[in-house]
A = this chain, B = another copy of it.
Amino acid sequence: MKRTVTIKDVAQKAGCGVATVSRVLNGSGATSAKTRERVFAAADSLGFVFSDIGRSLQSSRTRTLGCIVPSLANPVFADAVQGLQNVAQNSGYQMLLACSNYNEKDETEAVRLLLAKHVDGIVLTVSDVENSAALEMILQREIPACLMFNKPHGSIPASGIDNFAAAKAVAEAFHHMGHTDTGFLALRFRSSDRSRERFEGFAAGCRDFGMSDPQLLEIDEQSGDLSRLLHDLLSESAQLTGIFASNDFLALAAIRAAKELGRRVPEDLSIVGFDGIEIGRMVEPSLATIVTDARAMGSLAARYVLDHLSKADNPTSSQSETETKAAMPALGLSYHFRPGASLDAPGGKNKDGAEAATSTPSRHLVPNPLLNSQGE
């Protein structure tokens, strides 16, 4: 690897001091036209680029955001990262990305590394907000941060939707179709607060609508392959007419498993997902689900963090004067229920016809000032 060209090299070639080079190339301080000329020429011919690491050491800012998601295999997270990435890029920030692989050890280690790298802010999704060493480290360091998909924690806000309410809307949809015996299907139930919130909301909804309590169908990630586990689970709960899966991925897998078991979807079993990934609209039957805007979650979180970088470093920041440091509520995003062929009345005898599916009144809009028309 070629030796790096430093500001010294440029100074030497231009026949001036390093300070002058800095001033010229940064447009700071006054310089004479002739020096400018020589410096530009020298820098150019040498292919000089400022070293961000020298710069960072001096300024204690890295113009880098850290991001931690469980995995990129789930499009929901990939989308969120994309949203974050776009915002960051447009603001001249780079992104250090780490995956927690759904486990807390990697999560904590990732934060440690990001802090060591002195990222200016962090956007992340943790498995359990209430019990995360990673979050504690962030809180202690008082570095600007924002959660995605989770609930707010301490002074750290969260961009996401109201999982509880959304899950309740799913119960409503099932009820609307005449279901009473349902199940909630979850992978990593214990270690995912999102999963738990959705279950609670669903259960509450079922109670509200006079349905039986949903049965918890939990999949232990470690014990074998998903498809076999699903087969077992579905066989054991043949009495259920509807299943709410904690995310679309799982819902899709469940549909496949049900089909393999010879159960028709939705005639024999209705299935509803959560997330609203695009694929859901292309599969057969199309997937009924809660649609969320993962991309927006990423953008919103990124914008929040960028807006809260230390004032000194962020002169253009639009921090509102009225904002208090104490309360840090959720950055609420809208969601809505998307009907799909995977949900019908038990036995497929939906009397209302196709219209019934779309009549469920479940669009929830939460105006968000941070989300402006400029998009990302």
- The residues of A with any CB-CB pair to B shorter than 8 Å are 1-2, 4, 47, 49-54, 56-57, 60, 62, 64, 71-73, 75, 78-79, 81-82, 85-86, 89, 94-99, 106, 112-118, 140-144, 252, 256, 279, 282-284, 310
Residue of B nearest to A109 (CB): B89
Decide if A112 touches B49 in the complex (CB within 8 Å).
yes
CB within 8 Å for A144 and B72 given contacts A98-B94, A282-B279: no
Contact with A49, one of B75, B116, B143, B283 (Cβ below 8 angstroms)? B116
Complex CA gap A137/B116 in Å reads 28
Given contacts A94-B117, A279-B279, 9 further A-B contacts (CB under 8 A): A1-B142, A52-B116, A53-B117, A72-B78, A72-B79, A72-B82, A73-B79, A95-B98, A96-B97
> Which among B47, B54, B97 is the interface contact of A95 at CB below 8 angstroms?
B97
Of all A-B residue pairs in the complex, the 6 with the closest CB atoms, nearest first, are: A284-B284, A78-B78, A72-B82, A97-B97, A72-B78, A52-B116
B97 touches A113 (CB 8 A): no
A95 to B50, CA, bound (A): 20
Q: Would A51 and B4 be within 8 Å (CB), given that A98-B94, A279-B279 are in contact? A: no
Cβ A116 vs Cβ B60 within 8 A = no
The reply to whether B78 and A1 form a contact with Cβ atoms under 8 Å apart is no
With A52-B117, A116-B52, A279-B282 in contact, is A73–B78 under 8 Å at CB?
Answer: yes
Q: Which residues of B contact A85 (CB under 8 A)?
A: 72, 97-99
Q: Please indicate the chain B residues that have their CB under 8 angstroms from the CB of A95 in the complex.
A: 96-98
Contacting residue for A283 out of B75, B141, B282, CB 8 A: B282
A320 to B228, CA, bound (A): 43
Which residue on chain B has the smallest CB distance to residue A56?
B53
Which residues from chain B contact A114 at a C-beta distance below 8 Å? 94
A4: chain B residues at CB < 8 Å are 60, 118
A252 neighbours in B (Cβ, 8 Å):
282
**21 sampled A-B residue pairs with Cβ under 8 A:** A1-B141, A1-B310, A2-B140, A2-B142, A47-B140, A49-B116, A51-B118, A52-B116, A52-B118, A53-B56, A53-B57, A71-B82, A73-B82, A75-B78, A85-B98, A85-B99, A89-B98, A94-B96, A95-B97, A256-B282, A282-B284
How far does the alpha carbon of A85 sit from the alpha carbon of B73 in the complex, in Å? 12
Q: Whole-angstrom distance between the alpha carbons of A53 and B55 in the complex?
A: 10
Task: State in angstroms the CA–CA spacing of A2 and B114 once bound together.
Answer: 16
Task: List chain B residues, Cβ under 8 A from A86.
Answer: 99
Nearest-CB residue, chain B, relative to A281: B256
Chain B residue contacts of A73, Cβ below 8 A: 78-79, 82
* Closest-CB distance, A369 to chain B (whole angstroms): 24
Residues of B within 8 A of A94 (CB): 96, 98, 113-114, 117
Contact of A1 among B64, B79, B143 (CB under 8 A): B143
B1 with A144: CB separation less than 8 A: yes
- Contacting residues, chain B, for A113 (C-beta < 8 A): 94
